[in-house]
Structure 1
Amino acid sequence: MDRRYLKKMRAYWAREEAKNLRHLQKMLATSAWFDFWHVHPDWYGKAARDPSDREAVAHSALRLLDHARRSLDADAREVQCWAELYPNTMNDGVYLHSANPNGRANYPHEFTGYIWGAKIPAWLEALLDAARYEVGVKESEEGAIYVIRARATPLAASQRCHDGPAA
């Protein structure tokens, strides 16, 4: 791979992640509730060009997820947080969801149709800490969709960043 391309894309992904982190921090600081609020690590869909870019977007999503979890745990809010990775990286997102006043009984999000503990690609497995995260897989017309959430632990009842019912 061309070193100039790699350097340019690393700088691009760093800028995009910083922008998303600022947006995430602002929402965490100002919002009392979330209704499937999310950020897109690859808003413009640039990761479709190269597999290394795909990994960069997934890694960025995981870092944003980690930040959200730490922030929510620190201020004791009951919020689900997870990352979704799609075949088209433009659809990737890091989500926050809580009980909210929108009148829908959709909290907690159930992750219907996902198979937990299924085989995942090696590039994704290499990015994950399997002790901390679990991955759900759902097939779509475009390909596999991956949901990444924190594993349930014996301390889950005291954790405030809930990731939905264990499957």
Structure 2
Amino acid sequence: MKKFRGKRRYFRDLAREIALETCELNFDQDAWFDLWHNHLDLSGLGNHSLKIRRKHIEAHIAFYKNILERLEYYEKPYQSWVHIDDEDASTDAVFIHTSNPNEENFPLKVENLHWNCTIPTVFQDLINTKEFIVGHYKNRSEGGYIIQSKTKGQRLYSY
């Protein structure tokens, strides 16, 4: 991989994008979300550097906190979480899910999801365990960590 230049500017622009995206989300009382999500590292830069992956995880958590603040005024039940993939940084994302007209899949259940798992030391210091609960799931083809607020929204459950 070519040397990644302009990291400061890149992450400064990412912080602006997070603020803008949070403001543009529609949380009117008639709004609904069918597994809406946003990948902050869509190009997978975090796959090549642990330092960059950590910065993106920090950005995902900051974005998640912004969304939770906005969801405080949303009166319908919702689920929201951060997904950190075991293998691929480009699939890390922040999700919002509510009941919706597309499919009857609310509340969402995740196969083989185990809460209170051991958080990898690589990003353990990035997650405030007083504020968030962390779970891990592993399916046949994929796995990852779920970071969710302990007090806001409905929890994802396992089936």
Query: Does the pair score TM above 0.5?
Result: yes
Partner of 2:14: 16
SS of 1:147's partner is strand
Amino acid at match of 2:82: A
Distance 1:45 1:52 in 2: 13
Aligned residues: CA RMSD: 2.5
Distance 1:109 1:85 in 2: 17
**1:61 Cα deviation from its structure 2 partner:** 0.5
Mark the runs of 5 or more structure 2 residues left unpaired by the alignment: none
Percent identity of equivalent pairs: 21
Taking the aligned partners of 1:35 and 1:53, their CA distance within structure 2 comes to 29
Aligned to 1:91: 91
Is the contact between residue 85 and residue 146 of structure 1 (CA under 8 Å) also seen in structure 2? yes
Q: How does 1:80-159 map to 2 (within 5 A)?
A: 80-86=79-85, 87-102=87-102, 104-139=103-138, 144-151=143-150, 153=151
Match of 2:155 among 156, 159, 163: 163
| Range with bigger deviation, 21-30 or 132-141 | 21-30
User: Kindly tell me: are residues 29 and 113 of structure 1, through their superposed partners in 2, closer, same or farther at Cα, counting changes over 3 Å?
Assistant: same
**In structure 1, what residue type is equivalent to 2:100?**
N
Provide closer, same or farther for how the CA distance between residues 108 and 123 of structure 1 changes in structure 2, counting only shifts above 3 A: same
- Are the equivalent residues in 2 in contact too, given 1:28–1:71 (CA < 8 A)? no
Corresponding residue pairs, total: 155
Structure 1 letter corresponding to 2:46: A
Structure 1 gaps of 5+ residues are 154-158
Give deviations 1:77-126, integer Å, cap 9, x for gaps.
42211000112110010000001111x22001122211111111113210
Whole-Å Cα distance in 1 between the matches of residues 100 and 140 of structure 2? 31
1:17/1:41 contact within 8 Å kept: no
